[in-house]
């Protein structure tokens, strides 16, 4: 008998209290999701906070496609990100939906076009070199904090365009704030208090004010800068952008988008770089091939493959979330309005029919395979696809290139580092411990550290 399509239902999933699933999902995301899939199949429902009717996980690329190509009026992403409201502010592209989202997205997109990336190369290289130059030789070194420092510096200079003495003030204000924000306890506090009450806490207001007191005057000053049109940093480009009605972004909108770019782009890239190092030192052949390619100045075919494979196997964001605004039919279920549908990046990337031997790190699989729109989704998809994808890939390649060009990395037979959850992204649990074997002479001349 045919199913009655007027009856809403979600696919089955594990029973038990919401708190139990939240903890397991947050703590053990990758292994927990694999266990649930093994038991319930490709489509399952988890009880997690928010989303009336549960979180419906999708792992079949056909279902992922349905979400990514679905009507943005039905598939909202903004609600799912509301936990970030106190930090990002209400204008953030991450928190908006429908027409307001589209407006902000159109304003933000042009500076992130792939063609513009070469203009950031010298700056990225120099920042990486300055950090690497300090690394001790022959001793274990946790790469992750260094990757964090490099990507923060890149955002402050390439995106915010801040230089000179103000850089130190901004760095300390941001480090303090980001340290708090990415702390799972903070996320729990926001979930318990709600975004509005959390924002009113004195300590939170003080920390946000410390950042705003630097950013807002910087935005106002930059707006008046005589060299605005010649500057290459992203804030300067955004200041000149106008929407279809000829309106530029207000200072407050710009502040919120800068915080968004920082939060979305800093830790994600640092963690992806850390995973790349963690994988490479356990795969001597892949590392050797990368070193040869970089040092011989060949085209970056293998580097591309290494980055794609790292983002496939170790996706720092393991899911994307859409809250549905009307009943939707997916995977043979009529999912009720208010539930969340969740393309699961991690499990899509582990499908054996797309990626044979899916748990293995094999960059060579990308030599004769191009990333599919719905099968390689580390940057999500559709109208919400990561705005900084080209920037992030370019940054990963530039920094990794600088590391393997100027350093010999010692390989290891130690087991892989377990995944550790931070508030926003997944990171190697041992902070990507490496040993730098030997420093090699710089293969390329010193480069000026400005945004071209």
132/316 with CB nearer ligand HEM: 316
Least distance in Å: CB of 290 to ligand HEM?
18
317/432 with CB nearer ligand HEM: 317
94/347 with CB nearer ligand HEM: 94
Least distance in Å: CB of 439 to ligand HEM?
27
Least distance in Å: CB of 19 to ligand HEM?
25
- Name every residue whose Cβ is closer than 8 Å to that of residue 396 and which is 6 or more positions away in sequence: 269, 272, 273, 276, 307, 310
What backbone phi and psi angles, to 5 degrees, belong to 179?
-60, -40
Least distance in Å: CB of 111 to ligand HEM?
10
Residue 107, Cα to own-chain centre: how many angstroms?
20
Distance CA 375, CA 246 (A): 38
Least distance in Å: CB of 91 to ligand HEM?
12
10/400 with CB nearer ligand HEM: 400
118/133 with CB nearer ligand HEM: 118
Structure tokens given for 400: 């990794």
Kindly tell me the sign of the dihedral angle through the C-alpha atoms of 432, 437, 442, 443: negative
CA quadruple 439, 443, 446, 451: dihedral, nearest 10: -100
The DSSP annotation for 396-435 comes to HHHHHHHHHHHEEEPP--SPPPPEEE-SSSEEETT--EEE
> Which residues contribute to the site for ligand HEM (CB under 6 A)?
77, 93-94, 105, 159, 260-261, 264-265, 268-269, 272, 316-317, 320, 378-381, 384-388, 391-392
Residue owning tokens 């279902």:
63
Least distance in Å: CB of 383 to ligand HEM?
7
Least distance in Å: CB of 75 to ligand HEM?
10
280/436 with CB nearer ligand HEM: 280
159/173 with CB nearer ligand HEM: 159
Kindly tell me the sign of the dihedral angle through the C-alpha atoms of 159, 160, 161, 163: negative
Distance CA 429, CA 417 (A): 6
Residue 141, Cα to own-chain centre: how many angstroms?
24
CA quadruple 176, 181, 182, 186: dihedral, nearest 10: 120
């Amino acid at each position: 008998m045919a199913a009655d399509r007027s009856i809403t239902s979600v696919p089955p999933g594990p029973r038990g209290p919401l708190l139990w699933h939240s903890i397991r999902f947050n703590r053990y995301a990758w292994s927990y999701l694999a266990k649930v899939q093994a038991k319930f199949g490709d489509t399952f429902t988890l009880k997690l906070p928010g989303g009336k009717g549960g979180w419906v996980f999708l792992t079949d690329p056909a279902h992922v496609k349905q979400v990514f190509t679905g009507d943005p009026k039905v598939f909202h992403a903004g609600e799912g990100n509301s936990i970030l409201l106190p930090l990002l502010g209400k204008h953030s592209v991450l928190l908006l939906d429908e027409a307001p989202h589209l407006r902000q997205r159109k304003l933000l997109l042009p500076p992130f076009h792939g063609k513009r990336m070469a203009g950031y190369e010298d700056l990225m290289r120099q920042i990486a070199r300055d950090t690497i130059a300090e690394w001790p030789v022959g001793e274990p070194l946790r790469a992750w904090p260094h990757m964090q420092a490099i990507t923060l510096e890149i955002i402050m200079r390439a995106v915010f365009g801040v230089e000179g003495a103000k850089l130190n003030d901004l760095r300390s204000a941001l480090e303090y704030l980001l340290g708090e924000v990415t702390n799972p306890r903070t996320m729990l506090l926001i979930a318990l208090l709600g975004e509005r009450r959390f924002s009113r806490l004195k300590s939170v207001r003080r920390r946000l004010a410390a950042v705003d007191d630097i950013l807002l005057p910087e935005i106002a000053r930059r707006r008046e800068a005589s060299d605005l049109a010649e500057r290459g940093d992203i804030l300067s480009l955004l200041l000149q952008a106008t929407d279809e009605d000829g309106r530029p972004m207000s200072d407050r909108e710009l502040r919120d988008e800068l915080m968004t770019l920082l939060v979305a782009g800093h830790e994600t890239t640092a963690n992806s770089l850390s995973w790349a190092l963690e994988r490479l030192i356990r795969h001597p052949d892949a590392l050797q091939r990368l070193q040869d390619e970089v040092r011989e100045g060949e085209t970056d075919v293998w580097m591309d493959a290494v980055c794609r494979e790292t983002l496939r196997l170790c996706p720092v964001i393991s899911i994307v979330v859409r809250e549905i605004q009307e009943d939707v039919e997916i995977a043979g279920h009529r999912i009720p309005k208010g539930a969340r549908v969740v393309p699961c990046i991690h499990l899509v990337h582990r499908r054996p029919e797309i990626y044979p031997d899916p748990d293995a790190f094999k960059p060579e699989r990308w030599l004769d395979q191009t990333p599919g729109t719905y099968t390689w989704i580390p940057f999500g998809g559709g109208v919400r696809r990561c705005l900084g994808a080209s920037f992030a890939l370019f940054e990963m390649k530039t920094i990794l290139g600088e590391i393997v060009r100027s350093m010999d990395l010692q390989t290891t037979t130690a087991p892989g580092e377990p995944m550790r959850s931070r508030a926003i992204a997944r990171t190697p649990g041992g902070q990507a411990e490496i040993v730098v074997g030997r420093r090699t002479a710089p293969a390329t001349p010193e480069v000026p550290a400005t945004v071209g």
